[in-house]
Amino acid sequence: RYGKWYTPPRTVQEAERNHYQRKNSVCRTKYYHGFLWQRPDDLLSQPIYDNNGLIVGLQSAIKGRLEGFDSNNNTIRIPSPKTMPPFMVGETIKKDVKLYTLTAYFKHPRLICNPGAQDAKEYKGLYIQMGNDPEKEYMEIPLKLEKLSKEWKKAECVAKMGTHYFMNLSKKLNCEELYPVFLTYTDGKLGAFGWMFQGKPPKNNKFGLDWYYLPPNLYAFTGLQKDYLPACMLNKNFQINGIHIWLRPPSEQLCKKRPIHTPQPCSKTTTTIVQIKIYPHTYYTGTANPPRAPSLTLIFILIISIGLL
């Protein structure tokens, strides 16, 4: 399924034209700040808009009945309490199913609902929500690598994705503590981030967007190498799911050394990358092929490029 195109609405007006529905009538809610819009049954890509009607964030959600593994390969519920936050308890939907959310903002959360911030620039940074009040409870991601804390461990560089960094990743990591946020940097600047978690979420929706999912033999696709992973992550039944969100164009995500993966054009591919690029004054959307992998089933990667830098 090569050649999938998808453009997210950059403004509220575009969201309305594309049949998105607004979920909240007030800007400050007990779950997030901003106006969240959603397509029917789409939990993966839920854009957030400010009082100016401009996209300022993205929320993804999973249902709270997923299963994963702990460090002893015992079955556990996902998300694990060890990953909350940044996983946050969300709303309860039909049949008493609880949602768990991951939320990112592209400018400071206190500006999103502030009516006095009419002239604020669209994109000022990257902030991960870490509590019910995002104006006070957030994690600011450094735009420069030199300011990144040592808790973020360097992994590998993947062509067109950048060098990956994972929180506290080591052979001693308990799998129930696998942090659901990862970052990538190129030339010392933040290039992308993404969500990552255990389990196998159901198919997302009818729009063709879905979580990528990788078994251990395909971890390298996200910059992970087996020589520094805990044994529990090498369990054949262990699986990583998530999305990859670009903040800079993929053409800028280069590897100085030989990357562990170099995407190559392929007329016969069973993988799909969905790219979403949002720039302040224009759009560009397209597709890119990941490397061939004989055992790789359909992978959908949601990518948002926002021209932060």
Give tens-digit pLDDT for 228-287: 899 999 988 888 888 888 888 888 888 876 555 444 433 333 333 333 343 333 322 223
Classify residue 88: in a domain, yes or no.
yes
Q: Is the dihedral of CA 164, 283, 10, 20 positive or negative?
A: negative
Q: Is residue 5 part of a domain?
A: no
Q: How far is CA 131 from the centre of its chain?
A: 18
Q: What 3-state DSSP class applies to 12?
A: helix
Band of pLDDT at residue 52, cut at 50, 70 and 90: confident
Of 22-26, 108-112, 295-299, minimum mean pLDDT range: 295-299
Residue ranges making up the domain that contains 111: 12-305
Domain count, the chain: 1
Beta strand 66-69 with 75-78 is antiparallel
pLDDT for 219 equals 84
Is 6 within a domain? no
Are 259 and 163 spatial neighbours (Cβ–Cβ below 8 Å)? no
Instruction: Count Cβ atoms within 10 A of the Cβ of residue 245 and give its class: 0-12 exposed, 13-18 middle, 19 or more buried.
Output: buried
pLDDT bracket for residue 93 (50, 70, 90): confident
Tell me, yes or no, whether 7 lies in a domain: no
- Indicate whether 2 belongs to any domain: no
Q: Could you give the residue ranges of the DSSP H alpha helices within the chain? A: 12-17, 109-112
294 domain residue, yes or no? yes
Residue 128 domain-assigned (yes or no): yes
Residue 3 belongs to a domain: no
